[in-house]
A and B are shown apart, each in its own frame.
Chain A
Amino acid sequence: MNHPRVHHRLDEDLEIERDVCVIGSGAGGAVVAAGLASRGLSVAILEEGAYRTRVDFRMDEGEAYRTLYQDRGLRSTTDLAITILQGKAVGGSTVVNWTTCFRAPDAVLRHWEREFGLRGWTPEALARHFEAVERRLSIAEWPEALANPNNRVLLEGCRRLGYAVGPLRRNVRRCENTGYCGMGCPVDAKQAMHLTYVPDALESGAELFACVRAQRIEVERGRAREVLGLAVDPESGRPTGWQIRVRARALVVSAGALNSPALLLRSGLDDGKVGRRTFLHPTVAMAAFFDHPIHGYSGAPQSIVSHHFADRGEERMGFFLETPPIHPMLAATASPSFGAAQFEVMSRLSHMQALIALAIDGFLPGDEGGRVTVDREGRMRFSYPIREPLREAFRAASVEMARIQLAAGAAEVRSLHLEPVIVQSERDLEKLERAPYGAHRHSIFSAHQMGGCPMGEDEEVCVVDSELRHRRVENLYVVDGSVFPTSLGVNPSETIYALAHRAAERIAPALR
């Protein structure tokens, strides 16, 4: 990406002054930066990741996770129980997500209004923001006829069981069905931020500093004065020794859930609320083997969804069902066997199908999710206790996934327990009921990090107000998925685009 206002790496110390400094260039940062720059404000964007484009995307899992994901693909909870997939690049997680788009469910917005005093976040008020980002990002329903065999199992299994199921929407243009969304789209079909709102921001005059980690925000007398950024090596992530100081009239933190609260904590903005209420959509998976090829590595990774179990009543955690792409590294690391048993699994990769169940955390009474803290060196740490309601959801979800796979014709279903449970018929489902669930009992993932800086008017809980303004620092805003007061119950990217679109509209007038 050659652009006069893109700085790929710092090779000297810099001090600059702008109207706004946006920290992060993902779903939140890119959209808010473009919106602010288009309104005539001078904007500097700091991004920890490198500016990589399709020529850099080699469709190589090892390289992709090392270069495009947080912690070189090793991010996890501190007890290693939950693997966290989170992007790190210009464009953030949008570069590596699986393109699934949903508007925030009406019921979730109503819950936020009722429980957290959130104002102005009705479906009606948000509609034009959703429409704007849907137009810009070509968000549209992916035709059911184009669902790959992996997704078709979810569709057919649910239909045979009478479960609600249907196609979903994706942010793609001229998608060639390569199946490599998670490694960076090799044909620029995915309308990720590095192709859309980041260039929009640059065209409107914004300046981008890639490979710069925001280390600390300096606050004086209730106002954010400047942000200190450390230049980092794009491969190792280690500081190079150069730094940048950006003085700005307003700071927008859009580093994503986990990183945004960590930055506030490093900056001394700990009021006992920051980092709490962090949610993950904790995810369990089930592998199935079919007699016919599935080729789960090919085609749109996600095109079918079931929210049949999203609402399981007031006492049980809901979950929704989707599919993951099945490339060898993800499959091999998720399957905990070794020796001949592992080769048996991997030899059948082309016939492997997988479903994932994403638990909808943050809604049950007392469910406060996980907590972000920082260690003495300022590094992010994240703990997420797995309590009984979540274990129950994992159990129920595992049984339902196996049932769906069997209904779709699976010859064998295999759990990702450390001692895998093998299911070949409905009769075997009770083995899944009896199996243990929880930390280090089976593989658990998260690709949806949310919360940590919740928004709303409840001062006991909320870090930012309904306008995403920090409650104690008047010119500091948080604009990303960290402001969700609960999880979302759907893939979060589109809601983050829309909230950032709204935020630009609200922040700009205050700076004129």
Chain B
Amino acid sequence: MAISRRALIRLGVGGSLLLLAGGAGLAFQPSRLRAPSIPLRALDARSISVLAAIVDRLLPPRPGFPTPAELRIAERIDAFLADGDPAVAADFRRALLLFESGLAGLVFEGRSAPFTRLPPDEQDRVLHAWRTSAWSFRRMVYRAIHGLCMATYFTCPETFPGTGYPGPSRLGESR
């Protein structure tokens, strides 16, 4: 589930080119921005919009489970990143912009629209493409984003009933 310090920019020429593509690709079409429910501390308006869009597809509405928006998962991740190493937050921001990039999307998936402007089934296709890519770099980025989103969502007590997890034992109350 980890994304380590500066790891995303240490992967040689291929990674660097993709990062450049991510930056340039944003110029194709603006992102669909979402207003965060709290002031941001680590991410910016664009990256948290991308994150929220990804989380929505990683964890789409499901009976018995709260939605990521209800749990403010993107905002929780922003807070987690803000309290840690700034270099990790910077790497994570870059990873999100790669997902968003229209240029990178054109190269790898044949789509020029930013991730946030794609319909849900197209977004799922992009996620699947990153997860199963022949390029290790893309699988790494998928795992890093996936891990942080899953960790944040499934540690929320509101998800426990859906998983059958009893949560912390009552021992805690008597100590």
Would A347 and B163 count as touching, CB distance under 8 A? Answer: yes
A contact residues around B80 at 8 Å (CB): 66, 72
With most chain A CB atoms within 10 A of its CB, the pick from B153, B163, B171 is B163
A contact residues around B60 at 8 Å (CB): 339-340
B contact residues around A78 at 8 Å (CB): 4, 7, 10
In the complex, residue of chain B having the shortest beta-carbon distance to the beta carbon of A57: B172
- Asked whether any CB of chain A lies closer than 8 Å to the CB of B146, the reply is yes
Among the stretches A100-108, A316-324, A326-334, A503-511, the one at the interface with B is A326-334
Would A418 and B132 count as touching, CB distance under 8 A? Answer: yes
Would A333 and B147 count as touching, CB distance under 8 A? Answer: yes
Minimum C-beta distance from A411 to chain B (A): 16
- Asked whether any CB of chain B lies closer than 8 Å to the CB of A61, the reply is yes
- Asked whether any CB of chain B lies closer than 8 Å to the CB of A472, the reply is no
A contact residues around B24 at 8 Å (CB): none
- Asked whether any CB of chain A lies closer than 8 Å to the CB of B140, the reply is yes
Q: A55-B175, A78-B4, A327-B165 are in contact. Are A332 and B151 (CB under 8 A)?
A: yes
For B, the interface residue count at a CB cutoff of 8 angstroms equals 52
- Asked whether any CB of chain A lies closer than 8 Å to the CB of B164, the reply is yes
- Asked whether any CB of chain B lies closer than 8 Å to the CB of A81, the reply is yes
Minimum C-beta distance from B151 to chain A (A): 5
Q: A328-B160, A342-B150 are in contact. Are A80 and B2 (CB under 8 A)?
A: yes
Q: How far is the CA of A327 from the CA of B154 in the complex (A)?
A: 9
In the complex, residue of chain A having the shortest beta-carbon distance to the beta carbon of B8: A80
- Asked whether any CB of chain B lies closer than 8 Å to the CB of A466, the reply is no
Minimum C-beta distance from A439 to chain B (A): 6
Q: How far is the CA of A77 from the CA of B144 in the complex (A)?
A: 12
A 281-298 to B, binary, CB cutoff 8 A, 1 in contact else 0: 000000000000000011
Among the stretches B28-36, B83-91, B99-107, B109-117, the one at the interface with A is B83-91
In the complex, residue of chain B having the shortest beta-carbon distance to the beta carbon of A438: B136
Contact for A74 among B3, B154, B162, CB less than 8 A: B3
B 57-99 to A, binary, CB cutoff 8 A, 1 in contact else 0: 1111010110000000000000010011100100000000000
- Asked whether any CB of chain B lies closer than 8 Å to the CB of A166, the reply is no
Q: How far is the CA of A419 from the CA of B4 in the complex (A)?
A: 23
Contact for B83 among A77, A235, A379, CB less than 8 A: A235
For chain B residues 1-27, which have a beta carbon within 8 Å of chain A? Answer: 1-7, 10-11
Contact for B1 among A59, A79, A333, A340, CB less than 8 A: A333
Q: A236-B84, A237-B85, A328-B165 are in contact. Are A338 and B127 (CB under 8 A)?
A: yes
Beyond known contacts A71-B84, A187-B171: 7 more, CB 8 A cutoff: A72-B83, A73-B2, A81-B140, A332-B151, A347-B162, A349-B164, A439-B136
State the A residues within 8 Å of B (CB): 54-55, 58-62, 65-66, 71-81, 83-84, 176, 178, 180, 186-187, 235-237, 297-298, 327-329, 331-336, 338-340, 342-343, 346-347, 349-350, 375, 379, 381, 418-419, 439-441
State the B residues within 8 Å of A (CB): 1-7, 10-11, 57-60, 62, 64-65, 80, 83-85, 88, 124, 127, 131-132, 136, 139-140, 142-144, 146-147, 150-155, 159-160, 162-169, 171-172, 175
What are 16 pairs between A and B in contact, CB < 8 Å? A59-B167, A71-B5, A74-B84, A75-B2, A76-B3, A76-B4, A79-B10, A180-B168, A186-B172, A186-B175, A328-B163, A339-B57, A343-B62, A346-B159, A347-B162, A418-B132
